Amino acid sequence: MSNKTFMLRPYAAADEDAAIELWRRTWQAAYPDIDFAARTAWWRQRWRDELVPHARIVVADMRGAGGENSLAGYVTVDPRTGYLDQIVAAPEFWGHGIAEALLAEARRLSPSGLDLLVNKDNARATRFYEKHGFTFAGDDVNPVSGRPVNKMSWRP
């Protein structure tokens, strides 16, 4: 990351456009054959209706040498249920510690445990979660996409 560092901070309403675009870019990099631009309106509505009102959202804010800020990642956790819906790190920062920092924050927000769904064909994400202590907890199907997913859980 050379001259850039990141800090974690709570999500603010002014972050919405950057968060939506980061979601699109990141998922597009993970699944290049799917048109995520076509899903952006759906995602914005889900973000506003389901995640913002119920989840704690923490963002990774990049600070460059010139002082500019940009969203480099975020995590959404429902502290009532321990459900980690999204952990997103910008593709250009994969492997730079942002996802690990966001996961640590998710654990802080839900210290009794975390549960999530990960696409079965997303080997990179599955390896990440396994490396960080998540275990396989069953098979499922994503109710929105119909894609097969693994249920994964972390308990302290």
**Per-residue model confidence (pLDDT) at position 65:** 44
Superfamily of chain region 5-112: Gcn5-related N-acetyltransferase (GNAT) (3.40.630.30)
pLDDT digits (tens, 9 = 90+) for 6-30: 899 999 999 999 999 999 998 888 8
Domain ranges of the chain: 5-112, 113-156
- The first and second tokens of residue 69, run together, are 């800020």
Q: What is the pLDDT of residues 42-95, one digit of tens each?
A: 889 999 999 999 999 999 998 754 445 589 999 999 999 999 999 999 988 888
Residue 134 is predicted with a pLDDT of 97
**pTM of the predicted model as reported, rounded to 2 decimal places:** 0.88
The torsion angle over the Cα atoms of residues 41, 45, 51 and 57, rounded to 10 degrees, is 50
- Separation CA 119–CA 99 (nearest Å): 17
